[in-house]
Amino acid sequence: MPISRAPGNAWTPLSASKEKGTVMEASKRKALEAAGWKMGDSADFLDLSAGECQLLDARVKLALAIRHQRESQNLSQKELGERLKTSQPRIAKIERAASDVSLDQLVRAFTAAGGKMVVKSVKSKSRKKGPNKPSGQEPQMLELTVSQE
């Protein structure tokens, strides 16, 4: 959700207009910035690194996949909890990607709901090598594919 920061570091949420496909009017944004407000997203608010953003995104997508997989199998949270030997409230936390839920628990819940995962290492798209880019230093990408049955 987009957020803004008032003068004095008080962060407040903006409307969910970005998620609805609309953008704040330029004049309104300009007036807020002139008044000392700073615009940003949750990553700005939480001061997340690029790696932390990727991990958070993966956790949220996996949690949503768990819920969709559970529902597609007509399982209740309680039934999925029984498969994992845990409680229904814990399954609710897993489906929210709560901070106290490990990535391992998310993966186990997805597979317990009948989902299949494929993890593979892929080469990133080739970039032109410049004078400051020695060969062999391209970042590796890890692709995680989840399939729901």
The CATH code of the domain that includes 121 is 1.10.260.40
- pLDDT tens per residue across span 27-58: 888 898 899 888 877 777 788 888 888 888 88
- pLDDT tens per residue across span 85-113: 999 999 999 999 999 999 999 999 999 99
Counted domains in the chain: 2
Res. 70 pLDDT band, cuts 50 70 90: very high
Residue 10 lies in a domain: yes
Whether residue 25 is found in the same domain as residue 93:
no
Measured distance CA(99)–CA(104) in Å, rounded: 13
- pLDDT tens per residue across span 111-132: 999 999 888 887 766 555 555 5
Please report the pLDDT score of residue 124 as a whole number: 67
Whether residue 117 is found in the same domain as residue 73:
yes
Whether residue 35 is found in the same domain as residue 92:
no
Cα–Cα distances (Å) from 7 to 11, 34, 38, in that order, read 9, 10, 8
Tokens of 70: 């559970």
Q: pTM for the complete prediction?
A: 0.64
